[in-house]
């Protein structure tokens, strides 16, 4: 089927299309309240419903079969548990919605290999990816992200939304956006998620020497990335790249993220490098950075590192970023810049190019109307309560990470076994009854009946309300899972 056919099938109810990211853009956000670049994608709207009914790596009823199918599609889950991937899960066919919120408790966890999205118009919600360093033995550890957003050579990957996902136990970045060979990744939002515990000494090697190296890296907004929003995420127990933005990219906003425990030299890193003819513009607002207790002996307190190479330009806007410094010796551990100057929390490295300190938010970011959560306590409180795949129904891994942050505990790890290993889950299954007219719009609000059904499932796992959608499962879950708290 042609891309035009995909697009027409996926936009049955999007009568008026607007130019908000190109093909697949709709007048509606992909789900209510979605903000950021690419969030007006139609994703799988109006497509066929594909059911994940088993935890197999491949074959009928598997996650791989559903995500790699062709045509607009909405993936729902009639099973929960751990899916062991034997090879990387590459997903290139466009117009996709993955609704992990429909899985029975404790949800879906993928391990063994990365999930790589390289198509366009995709929404992935409410799943966890924790590759580890042992599954399967033939995979290359140097490229084992939990999630990767990439593109084919000379192609574009765009309109991608990752929302309420959990990533950890990767041997490369937990999350990356990256395109080689003249490819482009653009119009991407990553929101309301947890990216934590990238493994330190777990098989990653130096590309030049082949020698083992420590490589606990969180989030990389990398080569050939354009218009990327990183909003309301928790980045914890990753030594470096929390995040790192570098290499021929531009238009990145980093808003209301919480960074907990990184290497003493690491910060929110905004670099201007790569091709000299592409000025970098970035907005960094409302983030909370927990400085390591040893960092003050390294250099002055700072939350953001800006660096520009010769002949490069960095246009940077910063506002309301807070630094939690346990070394202050005062009752208030937050380091307060003198005179409220937002640039007091910015340090400069490799500053040989041109840095423009912007006094107003650039229009491409202001147009997105991303709301700020409030003060520093509001940011921490909101993110610890609401980030991750299933914040209202957390699995043991996410629950432990959030608990450690609250208690100001935890450290970097080399292996999942250091923190209890993978949970032991038995599959839980249930039959889902979808709306009778899934692609209709009974209330005329633009969202299909199926999408509104999915929104109610999302509310249940995000808020812990316990409410079930009106189209109830036809039978109760079978099997037992271990403790989720």
Active site residues: 241
404-407: long-range contacts, CB 8 A cutoff, minimum separation 24 = 404/236, 405/234, 405/236, 405/258, 405/260
**C-alpha 286 chain-centroid distance:** 18
Q: What does the block give as tokens for 367?
A: 């147009």
* Nearest residue to 292 via CA among 411, 194, 419: 411
- Residue 262 and residue 234 in contact, taking contact as beta carbons nearer than 8 Å: no
H/E stretch holding 65: helix 63-67
From the list 223, 222, 203, 221, the residue with the least C-alpha distance to 213 is 203
Tokens representing residue 107 in the block: 């949800």
Please report, for residues 243, 268, 288, 445, the alpha-carbon distance to residue 369 in angstroms, rounded to integers and kept in the order given.
22, 22, 20, 21
- Tokens 């299309």 correspond to 17
CA 247 – CA 194 distance, rounded (Å): 24
- Cα 316–chain centre separation: 23
Residue with tokens 């879950």: 477
How far lies 255's CA from each of 178, 193, 230, 248, 259, in Å?
20, 13, 6, 21, 12
Asked if 96 and 162 count as a contact pair (C-beta separation under 8 A), the reply is no
């Amino acid at each position: 089927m042609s891309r035009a056919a995909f697009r027409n099938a996926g936009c049955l109810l999007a009568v008026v299309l607007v130019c908000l990211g190109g093909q697949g853009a709709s007048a509606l956000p992909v789900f209510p309240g979605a903000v950021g670049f690419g969030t007006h994608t139609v994703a799988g709207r109006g497509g066929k419903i594909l059911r994940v009914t088993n935890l197999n790596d491949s074959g009928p009823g598997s996650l791989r079969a559903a995500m790699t199918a062709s045509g607009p599609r909405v993936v729902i889950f009639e099973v929960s548990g751990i899916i062991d991937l034997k090879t990387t899960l590459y997903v290139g066919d466009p117009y996709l919605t993955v609704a992990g919120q429909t899985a029975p408790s404790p949800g879906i966890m993928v391990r063994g290999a990365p999930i790589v999205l390289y198509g366009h118009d995709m929404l992935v919600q409410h799943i966890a990816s924790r590759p580890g360093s042992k599954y399967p033995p033939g995979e290359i550890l140097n490229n084992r992200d939990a999630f990767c957003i990439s593109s084919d050579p000379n192609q574009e990957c765009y309109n991608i939304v990752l929302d309420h996902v959990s990533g950890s136990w990767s041997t490369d970045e937990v999350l990356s956006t990256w395109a080689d060979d003249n490819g482009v990744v653009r119009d991407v939002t990553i929101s309301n998620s947890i990216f934590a515990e990238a493994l330190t000494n777990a098989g990653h090697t130096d590309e030049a020497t082949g020698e083992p190296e420590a490589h606990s890296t969180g989030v990389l907004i990398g080569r050939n990335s354009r218009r990327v929003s990183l909003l309301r995420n928790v980045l914890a127990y990753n030594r470096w790249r929390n995040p790192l933005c570098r290499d021929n990219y531009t238009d990145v906003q980093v808003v209301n993220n919480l960074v907990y425990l990184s290497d003493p030299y690491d910060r929110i890193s905004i670099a201007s490098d790569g091709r000299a003819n592409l000025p970098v513009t970035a907005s960094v607002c409302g983030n909370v950075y927990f400085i390591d207790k040893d960092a003050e002996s390294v250099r002055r307190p700072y939350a953001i590192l800006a660096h520009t190479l010769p002949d490069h330009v960095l246009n940077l806007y910063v506002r309301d970023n807070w630094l939690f410094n346990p070394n202050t010796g005062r009752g208030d551990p937050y380091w307060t810049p003198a005179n409220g100057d937002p640039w007091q929390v910015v340090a400069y490295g490799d500053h040989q190019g041109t840095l423009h300190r912007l006094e107003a938010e650039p229009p491409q970011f202001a147009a997105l109307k991303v709301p700020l959560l409030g003060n520093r306590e509001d940011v921490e409180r909101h993110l610890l309560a609401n980030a991750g795949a299933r914040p209202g129904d957390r699995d043991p891994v996410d629950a432990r990470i959030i608990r450690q942050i609250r208690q100001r505990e935890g450290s970097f790890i080399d292996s999942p076994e250091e923190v209890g290993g993978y949970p032991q889950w038995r599959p839980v299954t249930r039959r889902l009854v979808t709306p009778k007219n899934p692609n209709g719009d009974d209330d005329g609000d633009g969202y299909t009946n199926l999408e509104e059904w999915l929104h109610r499932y999302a509310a249940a796992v995000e808020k812990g309300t316990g409410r079930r959608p009106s189209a109830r499962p036809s039978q109760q879950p079978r099997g037992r899972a271990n403790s989720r708290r």
